[in-house]
Structure 1
Amino acid sequence: MTKHVAVLMGGLSNERPVSLSSGKGCAEALRRAGYRVTEVDVGYDIAERLRALQPDVAFNALHGRFGEDGTIQGVLEFLRIPYTHSGVLASALALDKHQAKIMLKAAGIPVTDHVIAGRAEVGRAHVMKPPYVVKPIADGSSFGVLIVKADQSHPPQEILGADWDGGETLMVERYIPGRELTCAVMGGVALPVTEIVTDLAFYNYEAKYSAGGSHHVLPAQISPKIYDKVQKMSLMAHEALGCRGITRTDFRYNDAAGEDGELVCLEINTQPGMTPTSLAPEQALHAGHSFEDLVSWMVEDASCNR
């Protein structure tokens, strides 16, 4: 019997457009793979809608708050609907950048020094010697990320603006110069490493999701030692947080710092993008898994109690 898959997309976070793009692409691929698919734009009535649909599997294509912070995972556990990606605890830990860093550091993975502070404090004066990076504590897709350069006398004043939507608690972390590396883990196996190259100020939302916003070098042209280290640490991060399904871990590599350079883990993503420009599907393809194979594997891997 053909499985009925509800692809959860859209949602209520800042990353809604990304999620819609991911969800539609995944739904189309699942249909090509032979599944019966219902696309579900997630709102506050999601529990009632899922009860009515009674899918065999929920494919979680949501991003950001409510979608990758353990919330929708808890709903699916309560409804006993098998779902893709990581479970409640791993999802909640990974999206909270502060808690994730505590877990990663405890696992022996190098992370950047950081400070947690309120928006007013971060906007008034430097809470860390520049250069540094300001991030919302629980957002993805580089929403609200600002780089403060060494010669800036004051923090970016948009932090204090009335239209700021990056939350009231922010993470300020040491800026690491160098190269952007990333590696997905699929079912406990590290995929090939990608270097992300962009002409923009950094790998921001535009670079991630606009055609031509960034260039992916796959496999990354780095030393075998660093390549292996990125794969090893990506798997360590996946396991340290208790993740399931597919994740993607991002790094900065300063190859000018000492003999082997400085490799630092930035974060782990439990809901990596599945858009046409996304990294995890590209890495899976390089490893021999078509997009249809990837999403089919995710459906067959789905479960409760993740």
Structure 2
Amino acid sequence: MSNKIVVLFGGNSLEREISLKSGKSILNILKKSGINAIGIDPIKFPLLYLNKYGFKKAFIALHGKGGEDGVIQSILEYLNIPYTGSGVLSSAITINKFLTKIIWKEHGLPIIYPHLLLNKKKFTKKNYLIIEQKILKIKFPVIIKPNCNGSSLGIFKINHKDDLFNALEKSFIYDDNILIEQYIKGTEYSIGILNNKMLPPIRIEYSNIFYDYQSKYCLNNTKYFCPSGLNKSKEKELENIILKAWKVLNCKVWGRIDVILDENKNFQLLEINTIPGMTPKSLYPIAAQKAGLSFYNLIMKILFLTK
């Protein structure tokens, strides 16, 4: 492949550090393969100049805002440079957890319900009692999470209303909108999608209260099981849910969906990730490897599927 490829990584989101690791892993593979690839951090380079350097394709390894929200996709569309992953609209929708859940619910897919979206401007001491009353309609414990943020940053599990105010304040550091939903006890699974096919699901076991940033990137006692241990009928049920959840949002090429199997043995969709991590600890390459794709072959396939 003689075409010049740009790998976009870093950026200015809260997930910058993970993005740098993902991008460097991808870039190393491309360079070792003899591909003319260059890594660019958008905060250090004016992206409108990409055309001047003759890039024929872009591999997006930007996580979170500026990478998964349709912004970089819009710029690349304007420049007429093909890019990996989902398009502008799908990216803009899927970064928004609340909007994603509304669409999933509309299509009869299983989501945690009820839930509530809270805006920072309405979060005042004057309005707090009204807010508290709304939250109390959701059964405790509740999970508070930034609506448009990844890597489990700013997420809190709250068991009692006395702890609500502090948690909301902290969560608003990460986003102007917060999603509040009931805490569901169960087993978490992470499912990769590649070219409209489900990769082997990964079961996650963690020691913290929930699968948070520490569990994902810092602790060594988080365990991943692939194969997941699901029986064939349960895995088929999961596949039907996952592929429908993927297609109704019109996502493309590659991504990941997280689900929880609750205590009643029902799957509940959690969220979608259109640019999964590609670090040595990331789940997506683990699932691909189980499906018979080496990291090299995975990168090549994503690139090949980019039109």
TM-score normalised by the chain length of structure 2: 0.91
Is 1:143–2:122 an aligned residue pair?
no
- In the superposition, relative to structure 1, how do residues 213 and 164 fare at CA in structure 2: closer, same or farther (>3 Å)? farther
In the TM superposition, residue 165 of structure 1 has moved relative to its aligned partner by: 2.1
Q: How does 1:209-288 map to 2 (within 5 A)?
A: 209-210=217-218, 212-254=220-262, 256-257=263-264, 261-288=265-292
Which deviations, in whole Å up to 9, do the C-alpha atoms of 1:217-270 show, x marking residues without a partner? 00111232222222221111111100111111100112x32xxx1210001111
**Shift in Å at residue 160 of structure 1?**
2.1
Instruction: Establish whether residue 37 from structure 1 lines up as the match of residue 45 from structure 2.
Output: no
**Separation of aligned partners in 1, 2:221 and 2:36:** 34
Q: Superposition RMSD on alpha carbons, in Å? A: 1.9
Pairing of 1:19-168 with structure 2 (within 5 A): 19-43=19-43, 45-113=45-113, 114-119=115-120, 120=123, 125=132, 127=135, 128-149=138-159, 151=160, 153-155=162-164, 157-160=166-169, 164-168=172-176
SS of residue in 2 equivalent to 1:59: strand
**What are the Cα deviations for residues 150-179 of structure 1, in whole angstroms up to 9, with x where unaligned?**
x45331514325x95222211001111010
Q: Which amino acid aligns with 2:148?
A: A
Name the CA shift for 1:266/1:76 in 2 (closer, same or farther; >3 Å).
same
Aligned partner of 1:180: which letter? E
User: Out of 198, 202, 214, which is 1:194 matched to?
Assistant: 202
Paired amino acid for 1:233 = I
Give the share of equivalent positions with the same residue, in percent: 32
> Which whole-Å CA distance do the structure 2 matches of 1:66 and 1:232 have between them?
31
Give the Cα–Cα distance (whole angstroms) in 2 for the partners of residues 136 and 213 of structure 1.
26
Q: TM-score, normalised by structure 1?
A: 0.91
- Determine helix, strand or coil for the equivalent of 1:216: strand
- Partner SS, residue 276 of structure 1: coil
Code of the aligned partner of 1:266: L
Alpha carbons of structure 1 residues 208 and 283: separation in structure 2 relative to 1, 3 Å:
same
